[in-house]
Amino acid sequence: MKLGIVGLPNVGKSTLFNSLTKAGAQAANFPFCTIDPNIGVVPVPDERIKLLGELYHTKKVTPAAIEFVDIAGLVKGASKGEGLGNQFLSNIRETDAIVHVVRCFEDTNVIHVDGSVDPIRDIEVINLELIFADLEVLERRLSKVSKAARMDKSLQKEEALLIRVKAHLEDGKAARSLEITDEDELLLMKDFNFLTYKPVIYAANVCEDDLADDGANNDMVKKVREFAAAEGSGVFVVCAKIEEEIAELDDDEKAEFLEALGLTEAGLDKLVAASYDLLGLMSFLTAGEDECRAWTIKKGTKAPQAAGKIHTDFERGFIKAEVINYKDLLEQGSLAAAREKGLVGIEGKEYVVKDGDVILFRFNV
């Protein structure tokens, strides 16, 4: 999973990136500190594979991973060259979703580029710049497709869709809000890689005092949640400065620190949950003495396609899958003991994989 991080300058974007990835991206209290994209790959926190690793005394534990791409802060007029312009938006066109960091705290020591804190105004500024960036890409593609469609009628459907999307964007609306049900058009939309077609998770960056109640008493957070609900986006509340402190602690210190703050999970855990939920993802597990590993798949994936996530040969030669829930396996202490209790299912090609399934695939090629 690959997530692009966007936001205005000085909203805590690079600070959050630093804390999530420990990559040491530059973060400072002035606009346009981040010019080149910062990229970091982070393991997805998953207690399940850690416990399975202890059960199997495994040589290697491999969690699923998220890649974060942090780009320079956008400002109003970026599409016309204001600030650093919008040329670096190409760095997040290949991401699965966008994490939009929104400032929801007052602090006279942290400069806001517009002189005041207003999360909805800030969101709309960024959204408009993403729309302008999409229009640039769309117009270039439409020009090529329209010329080719005169000779190739098979391109007329793509041309018609691009014209519809163009009108929608010119109305100031994100591409993801355009109603599309045709399967061919949905595939085309994925291929276009429009920024405003990607799912969005708003990271409401708050002060430490608003963390314990998850921003419930912060009016700015309430507005962000209402805005996100109206467009079907995700939201999670985070304090980037606190996350920066957490990132420096080991696991035991981290647990104590979170408890002292009245928290049950860190920002990365919240972001993972929000991302998986928004993108319809989950994880199945494989376990053994050599390796215990988590594999990220779409909800609704059938056994052969899940096997293909490990290796294409597994899918091509799929015979069956031995499946057990990780809790049952941990309780029984071994796969053999679980088999004796009848807790291991033998599943075929139509089996829909569930979150937390531990699977042993049988295949022949």
Write the pLDDT tens digit of every residue in 142-163. Answer: 999 999 988 888 889 999 999 9
74-83, 93-102, 211-220: the lowest-pLDDT one: 74-83
Residue 240 CB neighbour total at 10 angstroms: 24
Whole-Å CA distances, 170 to 74, 100, 161, 166, 262: 20, 22, 14, 6, 46
**Over the stretch 197-239, which tens digit does the pLDDT of each residue have?**
999 999 999 998 898 888 999 999 999 999 999 999 999 999 9
pTM reported for the whole predicted model: 0.83
- Using alpha carbons only, what angle is made at residue 306 by residues 301 and 308, rounded to the nearest 5 degrees? 130
Q: 358 Cβ partners below 8 Å, 6+ apart?
A: 52, 284, 285, 286, 287, 323, 324, 325, 326, 329
Q: How far apart are the first and last CA of the chain?
A: 29
Cα gap 249→140, rounded to integer Å: 48
- Residue 349: pLDDT above 90? yes
Other C-beta atoms closer than 10 Å to the C-beta of 248 total 11
- pLDDT for position 80: 54
SS3 70: strand
Alpha helix locations (H) across 110-155? 119-149
